[in-house]
A = this chain, B = another copy of it.
Amino acid sequence: MKIYRANIIFTPSPDKLEVIPHGYIVVGSNGLIEGIYTELPENMDWRRQVIDFGDKLLIPAFNDLHVHAPQYRNLGLALDLELLPWLNTYTFTEETKYADPEYARRMYRRFVHELWMQGTMRAAVFGTIHPEATRILADLFIQAGMGARVGLVGMNRNCPDILSNTTESLMEGMRMLKAHLDEHGNNGLVSPIITPRFIPSCTPDMLAALGNYAAETGLPVQSHLSENRSEIDWVRELEPDSVCYGDAYNRYGLFGQTPTLMAHCCYSGEEEIALMKQNGVYVVHCPMSNSNLSSGIAPIRTYLEKGVRVAMGTDVSAGHNMSMLRAMQYAIQVSKLHYAASHGEVRFLTLSEVFYLATKAGGLFFGKVGSFEPGYEFDALLVDDHYLNYDNYTLEQRLERYLYLGDDRDIKRRFCRGVELTEPVY
């Protein structure tokens, strides 16, 4: 058992920050939170054990629900291009390099290190079509002690031959990855996720095989949905029998039949929204990416009001920064531009709402993660904001200033499932 004392801040619900000045959090040896206290019970044994972090902030660690590991080298590059030239010139070119396990290891070490640095303790990650590179990526998460759903990518049409796998090779790779992680995945901390790139990249045959595999294994699914208008038109041509883009996944059992993440959803219509809600599909909001690729602004307020699940992602490298702090800033800001464009009709997102999205909402995809409540896994960041706290700020204001002004320098300790993680080698 460990007992930490700090200024504790978290969001059990989206509408309010829970703030406990100099509170205590008790973590069991299984990594689960046993209790939160403003004052410790009168128990001398407990008092002796308190690890006092002083005036620092203790917050849930971040969860990035959509990020492309093999695009790490391209972070901050080619952002003057639109989706298709960006994809063909930069993204696909880079992803082909992951046929080389040594290249993969070199870059993935940096990628996992950067996630750690930014305080993202859990991530849903796209790899490439390459089974060995993807296993290396999973192993790096295991070594780092971080949580991940790691996706071997399926793609066999409308893409370069060199980046195309077959349904057979994909399924064989998936089975190998699953067997490997069933055995070595740190008790489920690292596990596979079924990852068709998106409808235009996958033949019906591949989608059907992945849907069957989801039904057989219960593994979760991640992909892209309704990111921009021309993509939606394209899917309509490719899957004319589907009611909407989301239905194209749904018909193959890849839309909430098991837990499902769909990135973007900038232009989901009524039918798609209803289907997402009915099936419990997560919208993964990636506002940095949607700005950088000129996709538009996803109507997150609408999704929240309709009861659709929403989480957040950086979508590196269409998102230009691995920091979930930045993702939160953009989520608020683009919602304000939407608010302005709607002449004040659609309320913008608040700070506590986006903090909830980046912590608890995303965390729930991984289990009881992302909040400081009894029974939750202790995923946490210790934040030293003293350089921002030079005047009389409240704890709520200190959190706000950290979210807007802070960066990786401020994170002094990182915990995942109760374990304090040291810096991964890179």
Residue pair A79, B351 in contact (C-beta under 8 Å) = yes
Residue pair A407, B405 in contact (C-beta under 8 Å) = no
Q: List chain B residues, Cβ under 8 A from A403.
A: 76
Residue pair B77, A296 in contact (C-beta under 8 Å) = no
Residue among B296, B330, B339 making CB contact with A340, cutoff 8 Å: B296
In Å, the complex CA distance between A334 and B77 comes to 18
Assess whether A292 is interfacial by the CB under 8 Å rule: yes
Assess whether A110 is interfacial by the CB under 8 Å rule: yes
A79-B332, A390-B110, A400-B77 known; A294 and B348 CB under 8 Å? yes
Assess whether A63 is interfacial by the CB under 8 Å rule: no
Residue pair B332, A77 in contact (C-beta under 8 Å) = no
Shortest C-beta distance, A93 to chain B (Å), equals 13
Residue pair B294, A405 in contact (C-beta under 8 Å) = no
Q: Mark A291-327, 1 if CB is under 8 A from B, else 0.
A: 1111111000000000000000000000011000000
Residue among B320, B340, B397, B404 making CB contact with A404, cutoff 8 Å: B320
**Chain B CB within 10 Å, residue with most, of A80, A228, A295:** A80
In chain B, what residue has the closest Cβ to A297? B337
Shortest C-beta distance, A211 to chain B (Å), equals 32
Q: How many copies does the complex hold?
A: 2
In chain B, what residue has the closest Cβ to A407? B407
Shortest C-beta distance, A66 to chain B (Å), equals 18
In Å, the complex CA distance between A25 and B253 comes to 63
Assess whether A350 is interfacial by the CB under 8 Å rule: yes
A320-B405, A404-B321, A405-B320 known; A340 and B79 CB under 8 Å? no
Assess whether A73 is interfacial by the CB under 8 Å rule: yes
Residue pair A321, B405 in contact (C-beta under 8 Å) = yes
Number of interface residues of A (CB under 8 A): 43
Q: Mark A103-114, 1 if CB is under 8 A from B, else 0.
A: 000000010000
Q: Mark A376-406, 1 if CB is under 8 A from B, else 0.
A: 0000000000001011000001001111110
In Å, the complex CA distance between A294 and B110 comes to 37
Assess whether A186 is interfacial by the CB under 8 Å rule: no
Assess whether A162 is interfacial by the CB under 8 Å rule: no
Residue pair A336, B73 in contact (C-beta under 8 Å) = no
Q: Mark A270-292, 1 if CB is under 8 A from B, else 0.
A: 00000000000000000010011
In chain B, what residue has the closest Cβ to A339? B294
Residue pair A80, B351 in contact (C-beta under 8 Å) = yes
Residue pair A291, B404 in contact (C-beta under 8 Å) = no
Assess whether A425 is interfacial by the CB under 8 Å rule: no
In Å, the complex CA distance between A388 and B110 comes to 11
**Chain B CB within 10 Å, residue with most, of A321, A330, A340, A390:** A340
Q: List chain B residues, Cβ under 8 A from A341.
A: 296, 341
Residue among B297, B320, B333, B405 making CB contact with A292, cutoff 8 Å: B333
Q: List chain B residues, Cβ under 8 A from A405.
A: 75-76, 320-321
Q: Mark A331-367, 1 if CB is under 8 A from B, else 0.
A: 0111011011100000010110000000000000000
Residue pair A76, B351 in contact (C-beta under 8 Å) = no
Assess whether A329 is interfacial by the CB under 8 Å rule: yes
Residue pair B292, A336 in contact (C-beta under 8 Å) = yes
The 6 closest A-B pairs by CB, nearest first: A76-B404, A291-B333, A76-B401, A294-B336, A296-B340, A320-B404
A-B pairs with beta carbons under 8 Å apart, 7 shown: A76-B388, A76-B402, A291-B334, A292-B332, A293-B336, A294-B340, A321-B404
Known: A76-B404, A292-B332, A295-B340. 10 other contacts (CB 8 A): A73-B391, A76-B405, A77-B401, A80-B350, A228-B340, A291-B333, A293-B336, A294-B336, A294-B348, A296-B341
